[in-house]
Chains A and B, each alone.
Chain A
Amino acid sequence: MNGEKVLYFILFYLIIDQHPKILMKQHLIIADDDPGIQDVFQLIFERAGYSIEIFSNGRQLMNNYFEVPDAFILDKQLSGIDGLDICRFLKSQERTKNVPVIMLSANPAIRDGAKEAGADDYLEKPFKIHDLLAMINKYIKSDNMIP
């Protein structure tokens, strides 16, 4: 009996070690400088079971001091920096180039801008929560299932 328990224990830790993401929440990094929007993202993603990290200052994403997330959500109009520039930067970095980036903007012109900057997708403000979650799922679900 004891030997069986030890075996399960070893197996459990092997799985954790090999496939950490299976047992961890999907992690998102969001850049938006509006406190109202930040609060809304916090509520939406907490309820949906994601862990999130919010950056008010988009420049912080340019210095690489963050854990690589499962996806980035970037507002275009950030204080002092264009979200599209951050997108270009992330897509040029080895550690983040394959992480999905979703651009957000109140301006419909984001459609062209996002494509040109190499973003995976875009969402226009105001958006439906359902659309936001569906988009996130589309880009990171398959990612997490494959180790």
Chain B
Amino acid sequence: MKGRRAVSIRVFSFALFSFFGAACVAVATLHRATPSKQLDISYEFKESEITLHEPLVLIFKVHNGLDQPVALDMGENNIQSFEFALISPRGQTIQGRHQRSMGLSTTTGNLPVEPGGDFKLELILNQWFELGALGKYLLTARLNTAIDTGGMSTAPHPAQSIPFEIKPRDVNRLRKVCAELVSRVENAGGVEAEREPALELSYVNDPIAAPYLAEVLARHMLNYDLAIQGFERIGNDDAVEALLSALDDEYGDIAVLARRALTRMQDRISNPNLRETVRRALEKEPPPSSQ
């Protein structure tokens, strides 16, 4: 019975892929049949090929071909109103984590897109899913809020499905991705521009990322808090060692953030010697957290 269900799920999954593979390719665009005066909403992956543990970046695109402005409500921090679901390589449907409104938000309301205007937003799907298995997936993407086209009218924007495949872990490729992200962080020239590549780097959930995260920390790039979060996610011995070293860093609140991360990680450090080292380090007097 169990086996039969698994087979039927696989058959269903295959059928879906065949359909969407032909229909969507990499880009799914609404209203293609009507060439003008339309609102085009599409999703596409930033990279055509994705290997295990890379950050998975989806680009949300809007082109306003209407004669009037439209207003997009993407929720807090421009992510809360997106809903994603995956059909995994094993045929399971996985709902993306609901993005709760926690902490500070960069947004308070609807974002206008003027007639003829375009809007593009990069979404790091690792915020919604753990993507730990190889194989072919089908992503369903949807903005769960109405798009205001003026007055009482709203534009339809049904869910769109985009297939993708995660290929085997490629150490060289991961290193290249990490190095490029560090380079983008370095050359960004400000907190706002740094944030996206730093966030992507923090979601490279692989020990390969450790030295690159350490570089962001050591060079005191401004989004070092994201590097510390990345270490916390990786959680292996190298990550713990890096956070222990960060306890002695006097720049900004690096030591404070590292201390908090180690406090939260204590229970999942498997190496008993390292766990003891962390315990002793945390017993020492913490540094001041503010002026």
A and B found bound together = no
**Which residues of B are at the interface with A, using a C-beta cutoff of 8 A?**
none
**Which residues of A are at the interface with B, using a C-beta cutoff of 8 A?**
none
